[in-house]
Amino acid sequence: MAPAKTISLPPLAPFPEVSWLTDVDGEALVGAWRLLVGAYLSLSDEEFVATASDEDSVAVFVSSFVRGAALAPPLASPLLKSVFQLTSRLLALSPPALLLDCFFLSHLARLYPKKDVKPVVGQLFDSRSSVLESSLASLKKLLLPHLTAGIRGDLKLVQSRLVDINPLLHASSHASAFLLAGSDFFDGLVSCFRVMNPPLRKVIVTTTYLCLVGVSEAQPPKWAMLGDQLFALKTAADAHKQGPLNVNDSLVAELVTATPLLRTLLRAVASSGASQQLLAKRITDLEPFRKGPMARPKRRVKARPDKGKGRATRQDEEAESLLDQMSKITQIQDLFPELGAGFLTRCLDEYDQDTEQVVASLLSESLPAHLASANRSESLRPHEQNSFSHQARPVVSPRLPTRRNVFDGDELDRLATDTSKISFGKRLDRTADDVLRDKSTAPSKAAILSALAAFDSDDDERDDTYDAVDVGGTVDSTNQEADGVNDSNEELLFRAYTMDDKTFSKDAATRRAPTRSKLREETGMTDEAIEGWATMLTRNPQQMKRLQSKYAFAGQQQQLERTAWRAGSGTEDSDVDANRAGRGGRASRGRGRGRGRGRVGHTEERDTEAARRKKEANKASRANHNRRDGRARKMARGGMAG
């Protein structure tokens, strides 16, 4: 067979950028492209293949047009049909390597309808599947590390690549099945969805939906792969539900709520005619993860009152003239009640609606001949009467709606309730005298005596200097958080800060350290948020004290020590305990405050004198406020005036 003869045609110029074109240049270029593309399409298949293989300009023009047509739709619209015919013929006969790229096919699917692109892409996958799958594998290999890395990955790259590939997933079930092969790509989407990035989350939901629907639209449908992916969805949703995060803040919950995935898959299973009970059950198992309805309040539209400033219509003018004419007829009939309204209407028309001339002519019997011989009792013609009654009907304002509620017809509405059962405000069952006579809630004598027995009369010697700091009931005014909030991130950050505050440094080495990486994974916070928390903690000492009191104590304290001072308690500048322990003497026991009774030997007397001297040491230089304050507290407890 002789080789096909190559037809010499001018090369096709690449489609330029929008900023390079003006209105005049654009129209001229579009006209030239249309003629040249038509010439290429008029060739036979052998001549077209030979010309396209010799001229790379056809592939370059198609690639540049498909990528740039979306940016200049008015300029590229005359070429859409002819370029699609050229592209489909080129891909079917001799597809060049420049067009065997997943992103070119995705741009083609974005530019043209799915019903036109799907057969072309499907035929191309059947003939050149290895090249196209290699392009998709490169994209998948690029995205997987960033998807699994979460917040540490390049989120902008992930979002842009998924946006570019989504049109191809919509048009080709082969591409959807290739990306879902294995569980790595789906697991990466689930992991990346945990990052709080609303635009990225929306793109991930779209990609997941297109992949699952594309698998169900394959010929033949890949039910086994779809069942595996639905099982993976259920497993991921259950794992997220058991975790500490919000149940509705997962990929599965957003997928089944924001997209018609379940309805689409059930329709596809029902239309296939095959028995897929297990698959239908897995689809319905995802229904409980649907989020509840979020009803938004209706936007209130401000009512615009009618101010009567509209344009006057012809009907308004006719109605006004009829009203004026009927008023004049009524005036004349007051003088001539025997005359009919129809006869007076003809008289007014004769004298240009002049009432005085009509009355004068009637009185002087000088009416024209056609009116003098007319029927004077003629009434108004029916069509005029109907027109007048329609126009002159008074406007009835609409009746106000009657307010009704669920309590209509009850006892209060019918005023049939006994007034003794009605009270304003809170109704008290008992009076003040009844409350005073009731002794059931009064403390018993045994409780009072036990409280007095627990009273320590030596508390007047206790140093209360640090009560405001150490007391457990003191309210921390710097704590602005709500009561009862369990912030696990705060405890993790504080424990890490107390162990090593250098973990919160802002240098690059610290951010790459394993401790910082572990802290990011446990808290889900970024480096800037972690470092900002440490900065605010160092600037707020009260916050540091609050966190220490909240997380430092772990429950190891077994007993509470008494804070009242005792002689020989081992306080500063006191060697009473040392003398007593060193000599091995047995201390005598007394009964309390006398300090003299029950004391035997010179050691006890010496201890007592030393304690008294220490107590009286500074009375001459400054006031003894401790003794005064202790007495005031004791008097207050006893209920006596100080």
CB count within 10 Å of CB 609 equals: 10
The pLDDT of residue 247 is above 60: yes
Residue 5: band (very low, low, confident or very high) from pLDDT cuts 50, 70, 90: low
Residue 490: band (very low, low, confident or very high) from pLDDT cuts 50, 70, 90: confident
For residues 633-640, give the mean pLDDT. Answer: 76
pLDDT by residue (tens digit) across 356-380?
888 888 877 888 888 888 887 787 7
Return the minimum-mean-pLDDT range out of 159-173, 350-364, 599-613. 599-613
| pLDDT given at position 535 | 92
| pLDDT given at position 371 | 84
| pLDDT given at position 357 | 86
Residue 596: band (very low, low, confident or very high) from pLDDT cuts 50, 70, 90: very low
Amino acid at site 477: S
| 19/564 Cα distance (integer angstroms) | 88
For residues 142-166, give the mean pLDDT. Answer: 90
| pLDDT given at position 203 | 92
Residue 472: band (very low, low, confident or very high) from pLDDT cuts 50, 70, 90: very low
For residues 132-141, give the mean pLDDT. Answer: 90
- CA 309 from chain centre, in angstroms, equals 44
The pLDDT of residue 446 is above 60: yes
| pLDDT given at position 276 | 72
| pLDDT given at position 24 | 57
The pLDDT of residue 419 is above 60: yes
| 196/175 Cα distance (integer angstroms) | 28
| 272/279 Cα distance (integer angstroms) | 12
Q: Are 382 and 366 in contact (CB under 8 A)?
A: no
Q: Are 203 and 159 in contact (CB under 8 A)?
A: yes
Rounded to the nearest 10 degrees, the angle between the axes of helix 223-242 and helix 184-193 is 30
The pLDDT of residue 482 is above 70: no
Return the minimum-mean-pLDDT range out of 55-69, 176-190, 375-389, 412-426. 375-389
| 112/70 Cα distance (integer angstroms) | 10
For residues 470-487, give the mean pLDDT. Answer: 46
CB count within 10 Å of CB 63 equals: 20
| pLDDT given at position 204 | 92
| pLDDT given at position 13 | 79
For the chain, give the longest Cα–Cα distance. Answer: 159
**Percentage, residues of the chain above pLDDT 90:** 6
| 192/190 Cα distance (integer angstroms) | 6
| pLDDT given at position 162 | 92
Q: What is the DSSP letter of 504?
A: G
**Percentage, residues of the chain above pLDDT 70:** 74
| pLDDT given at position 577 | 45
Question: Token pair of 607, please?
Answer: 């201890």
| pLDDT given at position 454 | 72
Q: How would you label 386-403 residue by residue, b for 16+ Cβ within 10 Å and e otherwise?
A: ebbeeeeeeeeeeeeeee
354, burial (CB in 10 Å: exposed 0-12, middle 13-18, buried 19+): middle
Q: Looking at per-residue confidence, does 517 or 2 come out higher?
A: 517
pLDDT by residue (tens digit) across 14-49?
877 766 666 556 677 778 888 888 888 888 888 888
| pLDDT given at position 463 | 59
| pLDDT given at position 571 | 46
pLDDT by residue (tens digit) across 272-307?
766 678 888 888 888 888 887 655 666 777 777 767
Residue 390: band (very low, low, confident or very high) from pLDDT cuts 50, 70, 90: very low
For all residues of the chain together, what is the average pLDDT? 77
CA-based nearest residue to 173, from 108, 104, 233, 220: 220
The pLDDT of residue 345 is above 70: yes
The pLDDT of residue 63 is above 80: yes
Return the minimum-mean-pLDDT range out of 289-303, 313-327, 595-609. 595-609
| pLDDT given at position 142 | 92
Residue 207: band (very low, low, confident or very high) from pLDDT cuts 50, 70, 90: very high
| pLDDT given at position 413 | 79
| pLDDT given at position 491 | 86
- Is 0.75 topped by the overall pTM? no
Amino acid at site 457: S
What is the chain's alpha carbon radius of gyration, rounded to the nearest angstrom?
Answer: 49
Looking at the chain, how many residues does it have? Answer: 642
